[in-house]
Structure 1
């Protein structure tokens, strides 16, 4: 699957999450204020979809270089290619470490959540931390590939301070 197709798929999934969330909240507000009763599942569904949307977006943002890059700290190293390469590898290694730590914590929460269910919709509580685990695994894999390939940090950002 190409990068453009993957980006379109992620954007479509986020748009679907947002549309369902907006629809559920809108209907719940209308029912609550117009008729005095709401849909109890609306809040739970919106929370679950919001968590998934955030982590899908975070995963899609990594290969596009849209996470914080702190390029202003690296610009002085542009004239020193060996130092820039070393710091770039350090950044990729630290990103990988952060993903490992996030993935471990998220997986622990997934395992704990397998035995409990949400109050209203009765979905497994493991569905809330699962996107964090998947995001950490995906970004960690991309960071590992970047580390092994020695991918350079993109300096093409519009802002000097991010």
Structure 2
């Protein structure tokens, strides 16, 4: 598995995701920088800069959250579960419970995001005039993707990755 610093072994999907996030970040940085220079240097700015930056930030965060799940890069509380390593039956039960909790959280996030997508279908943003449903859409896609990944891990009986033990203080 590659780390964020080591992209030499990254697959094409991971590189595509990283490139999409980098593109979002680059466009946001340029838009905000140009807007700041125009506002403070010339007394005017680009109205679309704030809306565009907000939209790209939301997409970047949820793309990153989706990509972080299979890489095991989400925050994990492994100290309690790590103490169960010597009790395989309890560890297996906790693994199932944790996967079910992840799926439940994804269902709740997905349901709320779906409601917001439906509300946003008939609305347009003020400046850029994009459908407002584009703001909650990445949350819905993220919830579905992580929920499916957690369900597959549950069905395959994949053990928890307790590799975070070095990070526990």
Tell me the TM-score normalised to structure 2 length. 0.92
Determine whether 1:159 maps to 2:167. Answer: yes
In structure 1, the residue matched to 2:123 is 116
SS in 2 for 1:104: helix
Mapped partners of 1:60, 1:141: distance in 2: 13
The structure showing larger relative contact order (alpha-carbon pairs under 8 Å, at least 6 residues apart) is 1
Q: CA offset at residue 34 of structure 1?
A: 1.0
Q: How far is 1:5 from its partner?
A: 2.0
Higher mean C-alpha displacement, 3-12 vs 112-121: 3-12
In structure 1, runs of 5+ residues without a counterpart are none
Q: Secondary structure at the match of 1:119?
A: coil
TM normalised by structure 1 equals 0.95
| 1:8 Cα deviation after fit | 1.1
**RMSD of equivalent CA atoms:** 1.0
State the match for 2:99 in structure 1. Answer: 92
Matched residues in 1 for 2:20 and 2:76: separation?
25
Q: Shift in Å at residue 4 of structure 1?
A: 2.3
Q: Which runs of 5+ in 2 are unaligned?
A: 1-9
Aligned length: 159
Distance 1:101 1:130 in 2: 14
Match of 1:24 in 2: 31
Residue equivalent to 1:42: 49
Distance in 1 between the 2:160 and 2:12 partners?
Answer: 23
